[in-house]
A and B are shown apart, each in its own frame.
Chain A
Amino acid sequence: MRGAEVRPLPPPTLWGLAGEFADVDRFLAAVEACRKEGFVHYDAHAPIPVHGLDEAMEIRPSQLPKLVFLGGLLGCLGGLALQWWTNGVDYPFRISGKPLFAFPPAIPVTFEMTVLFSALFAVFGLLVANRHPELYHPLFELPAFAKGSDDKFFLVIEARDPRFAEEETSRFLQRLGAVAVHRVEVA
C-alpha cells in the first residue's frame, strides 16, 4: 500500500528446543533423564504409543475412566427413566397385554443408552482433555517435526522452564543421544 510504513517483522522468539531421536530406547532413556534433571515444562512426542513412557515421565493415570463411568450411569438411568416416563406415566397405552412399564422389555434400550453415553463421554472427554482440535502449535513451525508422525521421536523442552538455558539444554539433549537438536521459534 502506498505511503504505508514498511516495518520489519519482529525477530522470532525461541519457544523451546526439540531433541530428535531415531530409536525408542535412547528416547525413553532421554525422557527419564530429562525428568530426573528437574525439567517441568517438557513433553515427549512419538509416532507410536511408547510403552514405558508413562513411567519415564511419571504421568499420573488418566481420570477419564471415571468420567466414562459417569456417562454410563447417566445413560443407564436416563434410558430407564425415559421408558418409564413415556410409556408408563405420560402416555400410557396397553398393547399386546403387556405391562405399561416392566424391567425385562426395558433392558435393551437401557443397555444401548448406557453404551452410547459411555462412548460419547469417552470420546468427547478425550478431545477436551487433549485440547483437540488444536490446529496451531509452536511445534508445527518446525519442519523437522513432520517426521514426528513418521519414524522420529522428539523430546521437547520449553524455554519457559526455569532450568532452561539454551546452550546448556542443547548440550544436555545431545548428550542424551539426540541425532539433532532443533530450535523451535515462534514469530
Chain B
Amino acid sequence: MSLPAHLDPTLDDPTSRPPLVLGQPSFAEITEQVSAIAERPKPPLWWTVSFAISLFFAVVLLAMLGYLFVTGLGVWGLNMPVAWGFAIVNFVFWVGIGHAGTLISAILFLFRQKWRTAINRFAEGMTIFAVICAGLFPAIHTGRPWFDYWLFPYPNQMQMWPNFRSPLMWDVFAVSTYFTVSLMFWYVGMIPDLATLRDRAKTRARQIVYGILALGWRGSARHWHRYERVYLLLAALATPLVLSVHSVVSFDFAVSQLPGWHATIFPPYFVAGAIFSGFAMVLTLLIPIRKAFGLENIVTVRHLDNMAKILLATGLMVGYAYGIEFFTAWYSGNHFEAFTFYNRALGPYAWAYWIMVFCNVVVPQVLWFKKARTTPWILMVTSILVNVGMWFERFVITVTSLSRDFLPSSWGYYKPTWVDLLTLAGSFGLFFTLFLLFIRFLPMIAMAEVKSVMPQAGLERGPHRGHGQYWGEIPHQHEAILGGDNGERR
C-alpha cells in the first residue's frame, strides 16, 4: 500500500480510525461521482457487451419456459425418485443470494456499521433481482404453472382453500413477503437519491421519470424525521424476516421424513449458507464494478476486507454444519441417516459433494490471510468458487437424499437435461440483465447515506457523538490524525 499510514483503510490500529470515504471529497464531489454514472449519455463498451450477453441468456430463459409450458415437465431430467431437481436447487440458490443484501441493509444498520452505506444500495438491488429469479422456479416447477394462483387464499368458485399445514404454502408467504419488503426498503432508501438525479436531470424525459420516482422529495426536516424513523422500523422488520425466509425454505426439506433432510439443524444451517453465498455474490459483482466505475474511494479495500471477514465467518459456520450433519447421522444410530451421509461422500454423487466441500470449506480458508482479503483478484476468485460451491450444496442436499432413500429398489440417478442447464444459465441472464439496467439508470451508491457518514455531516457533535464517520466508536481521534482540515465546516 502506498497510502500514508493514517489513510490506509485496512490499518488495524485501534487508536487510528481512517475515514470511510477516502480522499476527503466534498458532498458535491460525491454527488457528481455517483450521479455521473447514471447520467452518461452512452454506456461504456463493457456494459454494452455484458448487457448483450445477459439479454441473450434472458431470452434463452424465455425460450426454455415456452418449451416447458408447451411440452410439460418431461423436458426436465426429473424422474422417480428424484422429483425435485434443478428447479428447487436454483430456487434455494437464488433466495440465498438475496440474503446478503438484506443483511447488509438491515442487520448491519441495526448494528450501526457505518461502512455499510457504501454497499447497501448495491446489495439491496442484488437482493431484489435474485428474489425475482428465485420466485420464478417454484412457479414453473408446479407442472401446470397457469394454476399457480391457486396458491393464494382467495374465495373461489371451487369452494376450496389452500393447505396452510404444508411448508410449501409457508414458502409462498415467506418469499412474497420477502420480495415486497425488500422492494419497499430499497425504494424508500432510494427516494433522496432519486431526488438528486431529478434535480440534476438535463433532459425532459429524465426530469419526468426521476421526478415521478422521487415523489416530490425536497429534504424537509419533517420528512427526514419520519423517513429515518420508518427506515429504522423497516430495518428492524427486515432483520427477523431475512432469518425467517431461509428458515422457511429449509422447512421444505426439514419437515419431510427423508434421511438427510429431516434435521433440526436445517434452519440455522440454511441461513448461514444463504449469507455466505450472498456475500460471495456481492463481492463477485462489486469488485469489477468498483474498478470499472472508479469507485475505489467509496468502496474501499477496507469494505472488501470486512466483507471477506463475514464470508470467512459464515463459511466456517457452513463447514461446521457439514461436520455436524455427519456427527448426527452417526450419533443418532439411525441406519438410514448414516447411509445417506455415507452415500453423499462416497456414492454416485461424491463428485458433487467434494466440489461443495472444496469450494465452501477449503477455499475460504485463504481469507485468514489479510493479503487475500485485501487483494481484489484473490477475493474475486474465492467468491466465484463460493458461488459455485453453494449451488452444489443445494444440489447435494436436494438430489442425493432423493435419489437413494429407504428402499434400494426405488433408487435412481438424476441427470439434468439441456433444458435444465439452459434454464439455469437463463436465470443468470435475467439476473445480470436486471442488474446491469440498475447500475446504468439508478444511483448504485446511497449518496445521501454516504454523505451522512462523512466529516462534513457534523456527526461528532451533540447527542449522536461517537456514532460517526469512522470505522469504530472512537470520536475525535481523527482530528489529531488528519490535522483537522478534512471538511468544509472547518
Contacts and interface: CB of A to CB of B under 8 A. Distances in A.
Contact of B221 (A22, A44, A91, A137): A44
B488 interface: yes
A20 to B, nearest CB: 13
A24 B451 CA distance: 12
Nearest to B188: A123
Interface string B150-190: 00010000011111111101100110010011001100100
Nearest to A94: B165
A1 interface: no
Contacts of A49: 224, 227-228, 448, 452
B211 A108 contact: no
B34 to A, nearest CB: 11
A150 interface: yes
Contact of B241 (A28, A43, A57, A115): A115
Which of A57, A126, A133 has the most C-beta atoms of chain B within 10 angstroms of its own C-beta? A126
Nearest to A135: B216
Given A106-B164, A108-B174, A109-B164, A126 B462 contact: no
B161 A109 contact: no
A51 interface: yes
Interface string B318-351: 0000000000000000000000000000000000
B216 A136 contact: yes
Q: Chain A at the B interface: mostly helix, strand, loop or mixed?
A: helix
B199 A111 contact: no
A63 B489 CA distance: 34
B405 to A, nearest CB: 17
Nearest to B26: A151
A183 interface: no
Interface in B207-258: 211-212, 215-230, 233-234, 237-238, 240-241, 244, 248, 251
Contacts of B229: 61-62, 64-65
Interface in A1-53: 22-25, 28, 31, 43-53
> Interface residue tally of chain B, by bracket?
35 or more
Given A52-B464, A87-B161, A108 B248 contact: yes
B219 A133 contact: no
B463 interface: yes
Interface string A52-72: 111101010110110010000
Interface residues of A, number: 70
A70 to B, nearest CB: 13
A53 B164 contact: no
A23 B456 CA distance: 7
Which of A48, A55, A59, A130 has the most C-beta atoms of chain B within 10 angstroms of its own C-beta? A48
B268 interface: no
A148 B161 contact: no
Contacts of B237: 115, 118-119, 122
A105 B222 contact: no
Given A50-B457, A149-B196, A116 B180 contact: yes
Contacts of B185: 119
Which of A46, A64, A122 has the most C-beta atoms of chain B within 10 angstroms of its own C-beta? A122
Contact of A149 (B167, B192, B212): B192
Contact of B181 (A50, A82, A115, A151): A115
Interface in B54-95: none
B166 to A, nearest CB: 8
B414 to A, nearest CB: 25
B138 interface: no
Q: Chain B at the A interface: mostly helix, strand, loop or mixed?
A: helix
B28 interface: yes
A98 B228 contact: no
Contacts of B459: 51
Nearest to B464: A51
B458 interface: yes
B31 interface: yes
B487 to A, nearest CB: 8
A121 to B, nearest CB: 9
B221 A115 contact: no
A49 to B, nearest CB: 4
A66 to B, nearest CB: 11
A95 B222 CA distance: 53
B461 interface: yes
A150 B28 contact: yes
B220 A129 contact: no
Given A47-B451, A105-B165, A112 B216 contact: no
Nearest to A69: B233
Given A24-B457, A83-B164, A113-B173, A46 B225 contact: no
A116 B165 CA distance: 20
Nearest to B164: A83
A96 B255 CA distance: 12
Contacts of B170: 108-109, 112
Contact of B174 (A91, A93, A112, A146): A112
A68 B173 contact: no
A91 B225 contact: no
A86 B161 contact: yes
A78 B215 CA distance: 31
A129 B226 contact: yes
Contacts of A122: 230, 233-234, 237
Contacts of A115: 177, 181, 237, 240-241, 244
Given A134-B216, A135-B212, 6 more contacts: A23-B456, A25-B461, A91-B161, A120-B180, A136-B216, A137-B218
22 contacts: A49-B228, A51-B457, A51-B463, A53-B224, A57-B221, A65-B229, A83-B164, A86-B161, A91-B159, A106-B164, A108-B170, A112-B177, A112-B248, A115-B241, A119-B181, A120-B184, A122-B234, A126-B226, A134-B216, A135-B211, A135-B215, A149-B217
Closest 9 CB pairs of A and B: A151-B27, A86-B161, A134-B216, A146-B199, A132-B215, A24-B458, A108-B170, A133-B215, A48-B452
